[in-house]
A and B are shown apart, each in its own frame.
Chain A
Amino acid sequence: MADLKDVAVIGVGATKFGENYDWGVDDMLTIAAFDAMDDAGIKPGQIEAGWIGIQYPFTGFSGATLSDAIKTYDIPITHTENYCVSGLDAFRNACLAVASEQFDMVIACGVEKITDQTGRGLPTSGFGHPVQMAGMTAPSAFGLAFPRHAKAFGTTKEHLAHVAVKNHFNGAVNPKAHFRREVTLEQVMKAPLISGPLGLLDCCPISDGSAAVIVTRADIAKKYRDDYVTIKGMGFATYTNLMMYDKNFDYLAWRPTVKAAEKAYAMAGITDPLNEVDLAECHDCFTITEILNVEDLGFCKKGEGGPAMAEGRFNIDGQVAVNPSGGLKCFGHPIGATGVRMVYEVTKQLQGRADGRQREGAKVGMAHNLGGLGGVVCGVVILTNQVR
């Protein structure tokens, strides 16, 4: 009987993220899925099951969105929706299916096409509680965390800006990133406000894109490539849409990040994440989100996230490279695709194939995906290139 640590990734693929007006959902999925299959050295006929992360109904319904893109019919394909964690949850389900030995070769994909929608910002209708959400936007829901963090720990707007500067620095050299330019601290500080204190450059963009990965068992992976990566730890957690009913909700931590990380670290046997994780693709939908996340993931003490960013502790050559890809902030955030794109990046890093943005000597990498306004859902997946 296999377990999750016997699960391997043997191929990864992605489209360029950005304003992909010339591609439809099918186009992007086809590009990402065949990119992943080519990388693995497999053909569509070898795929036994699939999972596809999509958040918005306007992007697509059901597994048929994927079967039509890869022209592979008569196999089970499941659509996963779990806010911004839709993609990483597709990957989780693919891993569980392989670990159960029900299937030997499966695909996990994600896709979102948002730029064709009217209106400004991310459509949030139907998210959370209707009263809580009245007049709210995604930047507002995360912006509400700032006054609490500032009051408790002295976090400043400049601390937030360091997150954007770091992630744009990393992503500027990434050929598939939405933005391929650096930004300065001054530009971030002076950008027009979206939801105070978050300015335009504190917010990830509205992006289109798709990513895909091929998942199999480690004993099968060896037949396809030597540099496959395997699961070291995995944890998922769901909190609530109704934070205002929780007397313990303090907006100082993302509770699902804390809980998902505890589970993933326990499975991985990691007790000192700062020294045992080389890189992390960490959910940075807004700069304040990443500040809380690096604390919740144990990369620094609670309250130290802002100063740690300013000191460069999470730069690509820092203690932990956080968002070497550029993150959601610079690489882009097509919702359903993001979690799978994180697995794509971590795999490339662990294979030494992250051209221009390589974390040297990376052995253990994390994909951390947070979803829901105020922090509702989280997945943490830890991958390694070390033979079990």
Chain B
Amino acid sequence: MTGVDTGRETSHLGGRLITGPDGDPRLIGIRCLDCGTGAFPATDYCPGCGSGSLEDLPLPRAGTVWTYTVVYMGGYGSIVADPPYATAFIELDDGTFVHAPITGCDPESVRVGMEVALTTVEAKENDLGITLTYAFEPAVGRERGVGS
């Protein structure tokens, strides 16, 4: 885990989330040393070329909503929120895609292109043993942590 603050580390269904001493959360993906592909959640092989030569990739905290849907009938449920909730594909500032819930706003206000930043969420009671997980919330300017 080169270049990453040590701190509270948790895992969410295969995605790695690190919160540093300052409380800022970071998602950890992988970068392929052979073809350069970056991906999240982390894998043991490159999703682009199959190589096993990978390094940890701390992902930017900021991105924009690429697409989304608002779930009114939750089916088998989210560990983040009760319906209605928004779930989205986020395009992070380095081009990596992350699929995550959107919190901290009216779900019906979510739009393509909306600026968002990573946050942590206490998980609802679940059978998976997860207590802390991640989501994205609306953020602009310095709040987005651009460049961090």
User: Which residues of chain A have a CB within 8 Å of any CB of chain B?
Assistant: 119-125, 129-132, 134-140, 143-148, 151, 192-196, 198, 242, 244-247, 251
Assess whether A132 is in contact with B69, with CB atoms less than 8 Å apart: no
Interface residues of B (CB under 8 A from A): 12-15, 37, 39-41, 47-48, 66-81, 84-85, 87, 89, 95, 97-99, 101, 108, 112
Known: A134-B79, A244-B98. A147 touches B112 (CB 8 A): yes
Once the chains bind, are B112 and A140 in contact (CB under 8 Å)? no
Contact A251 B67 (CB under 8 A): yes
- A319–B98 Cα distance when bound, in Å, is 41
A139 / chain B contacts, CB cutoff of 8 Å: 69, 73
Q: How many contacts A-B (CB < 8 Å)?
A: 103
A244 pairs with B70, CB closer than 8 A: no
Closest to A132 in B: B99
Identify which of B37, B87, B89 gathers the most chain A CB atoms within 10 Å of its CB: B87
Given A119-B75, A244-B97, A131 contacting B41 (CB threshold 8 A): yes
Q: How far is the CB of A144 from chain B (nearest CB, A)?
A: 5
CB of A124 within 8 A of CB of B76, answer: yes
Closest CB of chain A to B106's CB: distance in Å?
A: 12
Whether A131 contacts B76 in the complex (CB less than 8 A), given A137-B71, A147-B68, A195-B70, comes out as: no
B67 touches A130 (CB 8 A): no
Q: Which residues of A contact B72 (CB under 8 A)?
A: 192-196
Task: Give the 10 A-B CB pairs with smallest separation, nearest first.
Answer: A135-B78, A245-B47, A143-B69, A137-B75, A196-B70, A121-B75, A130-B13, A244-B97, A193-B72, A147-B67
Nearest A-chain residue to B130, judged by Cβ: A134
Of B14, B40, B70, the residue contacting A130 (CB under 8 A) is B14
When A147-B68, A245-B39 are in contact, do A134 and B112 touch as well, CB less than 8 Å? no
B87 adjacent to A136 (CB under 8 Å): yes
CA distance A245 to B12 in the complex (A): 18
In the complex, the answer to whether B48 meets A148 with C-beta atoms within 8 Å is no
Q: Are A144 and B41 in contact (CB under 8 A)?
A: no
Decide yes or no: A244 and B99 within 8 Å by CB, A134-B79, A135-B78 being known contacts.
yes
7 A-B pairs in the complex with CB atoms less than 8 angstroms apart: A123-B76, A131-B99, A135-B85, A143-B69, A144-B89, A196-B72, A196-B108
Most B CB within 10 A of own CB, among A119, A145, A151, A247: A247
Task: Take A130-B14, A144-B67, A245-B39 as given contacts and tell me if A135 and B89 are in contact as well, using a CB distance cutoff of 8 Å.
Answer: no
Question: Does more than half of chain B's interface fall in helix, strand or loop, or is it mixed?
Answer: loop
What CA separation (Å) do A119 and B70 show in the bound complex? 19
- Besides the contacts A196-B108, A244-B39, what 18 more A-B pairs have beta carbons closer than 8 Å? A129-B14, A130-B14, A131-B99, A134-B78, A134-B79, A134-B101, A135-B74, A144-B69, A145-B67, A147-B67, A147-B68, A147-B69, A195-B71, A196-B72, A244-B40, A244-B97, A244-B98, A244-B99
What is the CB-to-nearest-CB distance from B10 to chain A, in angstroms, rounded to a whole number?
Answer: 13
* Cβ contacts under 8 Å, B37 to chain A: 245, 247
> Of residues A135, A144, A148, which shows the largest number of chain B Cβ atoms within 10 Å of its Cβ?
A135
Judging by beta carbons under 8 Å apart, are A244 and B89 in contact?
A: yes
A245 and B112 alpha carbons, distance in the complex (Å): 20
Q: How far is the CB of B44 from chain A (nearest CB, A)?
A: 13
Min Cβ gap A289→B in Å is 14
B126 to chain A, nearest CB (A): 10
- Judge whether A194 and B76 touch: CB under 8 Å: no
Chain B residues near A193 (CB, 8 Å)? 70, 72, 84
A138 CA to B75 CA in the complex, in Å?
9
- B74 x A137 contact (CB < 8 A): yes
Chain A neighbourhood of B73, CB < 8 A: 120-121, 137, 139, 194-195
Distance in Å: Cβ of B69 to nearest Cβ of chain A:
4
Cα of A131 to Cα of B14 in the assembled complex, Å: 7
Contacts A130-B14, A147-B112, A244-B97 given: A135-B70 contact, CB under 8 Å? Answer: no
**B76–A137 touching, CB < 8 Å:** yes
CB distance from A377 to the nearest CB of B (A): 19
The minimal Cβ–Cβ distance linking B84 to chain A, given in whole angstroms, is 8
